[in-house]
Amino acid sequence: MNTPLPRSLEPAPGELLPGYLLRLAHRIGIPPRDLAHRCGLATGNTLPAHHLVRLDAGLAQQIATVCRLDKAEVHGLTLAGQAPGYAPLHSVYLGRHQSNINMANDGWVFTAFSRYCPDCVADTADLPGGPLWPGSWRLPHTFTCPRHHRHLAWLCPACQAPAFSNGYKADGRWRPSQLIPAPRIRLHPAQCRHRPGGGWDAACSAHLARSPVPATQPTKAMAQAQQRLATAATAAPGQEVESLGRPTSPAHFFNDVRATVLAICATWPAAAEVFPGSEHLDLIATHAEALHHTPAERLGPQGSGWLARSIDHPPADSQHGAALMSLVVQVLDDTDGKTALARMLSRLPSRRADRLRTLTPHCSPAMNAAIGESLRLRREAAGPPALFPQPATHQGRLDPRTIPALLPDAWAGPLDELDAPTRLLRRDAAIRLVQMARGGSRTGAARYLGIPPGTLDSTTLRIRTWQKEPGNADAYQDALRRIADIAVRAKT
């Protein structure tokens, strides 16, 4: 049904599609779901959250017709239209074509909830249809309100659910996101739409403008960091920004931001040692340390950092986000930032190396120089490379026919002293013992033991990566010599 509505609203500057639809539905007195159906935004009873990222031409035209807008105004209600320089919103990101759904679930866009300023909600509550919900509140680099000089809130003061969200289950996992939570319910746009029990339960309905918690004020460094990031996000195509003292594109800059978040959080407390004078290191520590917990430990509702899906994703809490992003901007604006980054990245755990390899081709030249320097520092710290192939040190002393494909408990004591994946190490040690007993290649030793090529490849990759950690290769060689002696004694 593409019939224009009898009356509509002019979008406010910076307003996002969900907030606009809420205001319009409230003004004309219908549930948001009914308006979304008329606009073509609903799939059954679901209003997909990825529509706030960008809209295809046909859907944008339908919304324009129904709401009496032009298409440029409709596209201006999307995050992609408001932040053209923000790399996570691009259709090609980190070298891959991504759908709107993937963009909405990446973790660098807050699609499942929204930060908000209670004072702004109160100030605009009397506008036609209700208060404004700016699109910038959905981006992780917007953590303060410049107008009211306060940190943004992100939880409802009454039910403590994330604002503008469909909520989460008892175990802390999100319910499926919606463009507008509880779309069947008619509420003022300033009211919390979270349904604590889900389903048809009543919504919380608390007014988000009424916060019992005193506002906290950002520091000067936080305000400057937000402005720096916002300027890059709204940069037009062809504009350049600076990163690590050199001009680069906004897309490369935001990939530098992501790489720096990875460096800080994955190597914590290395950043505190490199930048001991930075403000609010305690807030960054709370976030970084929470990310090092197991997923099961992080699932509880509202645990510190629980909304961050990955080690290089930003926190939901605006104070933690402000502290982290201020340090990120400090690093990227530092004249010696490349050296600091290299020092931190040289301590990156091997299990985070894949994430860094994903980011590296899409960062600025200056960031890639820092990453290259970190690899040199890492090699120096690790000492000589891991021994491949294994020398035949026990020929004539150790019978390869007595070596099983997975070392038995009686032989594996020296391996248990190492901080390594135990089962993989037992398999790898068996391969090396065969090489020590009869010589030859690693592939030949695996074939002798009946280990399939795919298993050999995965074992080699994991163990080689582990061996490159400082001290591991030497400790492993010592353990292998002791195991070989155990095996020799067992034979006699």
Give the torsion through C-alpha atoms of 123, 196, 108, 296, to 10 deg. Answer: 150
Helix (H) or strand (E) holding 241: strand 241-243
Length of the chain: 492
Residue 1 has pLDDT above 70, yes or no: no
Q: Which of 293-302, 316-325, 372-381 has the highest mean predicted lDDT (pLDDT)?
A: 316-325
Phi, psi (degrees; rounded to nearest 5) at 247: -70, 145
Please give the Cα distance from 37 to 475 (Å, whole number).
Answer: 65
- Under the banding of pLDDT at 50, 70 and 90, the label for residue 309 is low
Tokens 């070392």 locate to 407
Please give the Cα distance from 376 to 382 (Å, whole number).
Answer: 10
Cis preceding-peptide flag for 196 (omega within 30 of 0) = no
Share of the chain above pLDDT 90, in %: 49
> What Rg do the C-alpha atoms of the chain give, in angstroms?
28
Tokens 């901080």 locate to 419
Q: What is the mean pLDDT of residues 399-404?
A: 90
Which residues are CB-contacts of 53 (< 8 A; sequence separation ≥ 6)?
78, 79, 80, 89, 100, 103, 104, 109, 111
- Under the banding of pLDDT at 50, 70 and 90, the label for residue 459 is confident
Average model confidence (pLDDT) across the chain:
87
pLDDT tens digits for range 35-64: 999 999 988 778 998 899 999 999 999 999
pLDDT tens digits for range 187-245: 999 999 988 876 677 889 999 987 767 788 999 999 999 999 999 999 998 999 999 99
